[in-house]
Amino acid sequence: MPSASTPGVSPAAGASEAPDGDGRLRGDRLGWLRSQGLGLACGFATVVLLAIGSVVLSVTRDGASASIHMDDLRGFFAPVHPAHLWLYLLLPVAALYAINTVLATWDTVARKWRAGLRAPSAYAASLVHVGFLLALAAHGAGGFLGEDGGAVLVASGWQELPGFGEVRLLALHVDALPDGTPREARARLEVRDVEGRLSERTVGYNAPLSSGGGARLALLSDLGRTWVARFASGGESCALAEGQRCRLAGEVVLLHRFVPGEGGDAAAVVGARDSSGVERVRLLGRESALALPRGGELRLAGVAAEPAIVLRTREAPGNPWALAASLLMAAGIALLWRKLVR
């Protein structure tokens, strides 16, 4: 008479851990976390919540959502508002979605590897899943760790731009609509990095300066014309707008403001050390000069209205993650395409 049990496996174990149609064990308590059904449910919930959020943001643009801009998620919590309930629900859904993707992808890769599959195309879908996870990380990093910096007025004189070195405006081209509103703007800049290397870059409304894989940005915020004073000392010169500073003859020169001068010419109120080494605020016109500590003189060479732009800096730590995600997804889709056309 045949034995009631298979040697080495208890009946209870066989009943509770028999493989299902996908080769997984029925007794696997975490099986639901990596199930395809959970992934589909999370994906559907994400789409619905984002659709609701787009409507809510539009309706509450001047109210509860007034402080929300770009990819900053911190505005949704300062303060917490019932109108943003869709986002508060989206965060745990996204976390569950990420856990489901991690477990399902790991399970798929492990089973294929144990089965002896070594062709890269066999892992194409898993590569897309990893890209999706990096995209989620990019949204989180950008939303909670991103930070806006200050605005920097850039004209023809060198000005420090945090994270990039120094910049100055070489040319500004603006395409305007019939009513005069700028449609497109292209500012050609000269950039001098911390090591003194020079390069030319172009900035537009949708083309910011970037470094570190996009982790640091300088966005075109405004443009127009501004009054600029040119100062000279010996063979050195610099150009400053109000509130800007430069270094001439080894001394820091700060332009406080413009005021009317003699004969209707503009004069400049500047701050610098005089020949005695004391910080002074002086009015400089065309015929006046300020003696500097090292023997030179600071003179106002002229004042004129010049094209200028305003660059606003932003730290965006999620951008490198987003770039990596797009590259991985592109690689996965390319492998899938090769597999489909065979």
Write the pLDDT tens digit of every residue in 245-283.
999 988 999 999 999 987 778 999 999 998 889 998 999
Burial class (CB in 10 A: 0-12, 13-18, 19+), 69: exposed
Residue 338's pLDDT is 65
Co-location of 142 and 59 in the same domain: no
Co-location of 264 and 169 in the same domain: yes
Co-location of 160 and 53 in the same domain: no
Co-location of 162 and 267 in the same domain: yes
Co-location of 140 and 94 in the same domain: no
The mean per-residue pLDDT over the stretch 100-128 comes to: 93
Q: Does residue 278 form part of some domain?
A: yes
Q: Which residues make Cβ contacts (< 8 Å) with residue 298, sequence separation at least 6?
A: 231, 232, 233, 248, 249, 251, 253, 270, 272, 284, 289, 290, 292
Q: Is the pLDDT of residue 325 over 90?
A: yes
Co-location of 227 and 290 in the same domain: yes
Q: Is the pLDDT of residue 37 over 90?
A: yes
Co-location of 308 and 328 in the same domain: no
For the chain, the average pLDDT equals: 88
The mean per-residue pLDDT over the stretch 61-76 comes to: 88
Domain of residue 42, residue span: 30-104
Q: Does residue 19 form part of some domain?
A: no
The mean per-residue pLDDT over the stretch 27-51 comes to: 89
Co-location of 254 and 303 in the same domain: yes
Q: Is the pLDDT of residue 10 over 70?
A: no
Give residue-wise pLDDT tens across range 179-215.
888 889 999 999 999 899 999 999 999 999 999 889 9
Q: Does residue 266 form part of some domain?
A: yes
Q: Does residue 296 form part of some domain?
A: yes
Residue 339's pLDDT is 63
The domain tally of the chain equals 3
Q: Does residue 109 form part of some domain?
A: no
> Among the three residues 104, 136, 161, which one is the final residue of a domain in this structure?
104
Q: Is the pLDDT of residue 18 over 90?
A: no
Residue 16's pLDDT is 36
Co-location of 263 and 325 in the same domain: no
Co-location of 125 and 192 in the same domain: no
Q: Is the pLDDT of residue 8 over 50?
A: no
For residue 227, list its beta bridge partners.
305
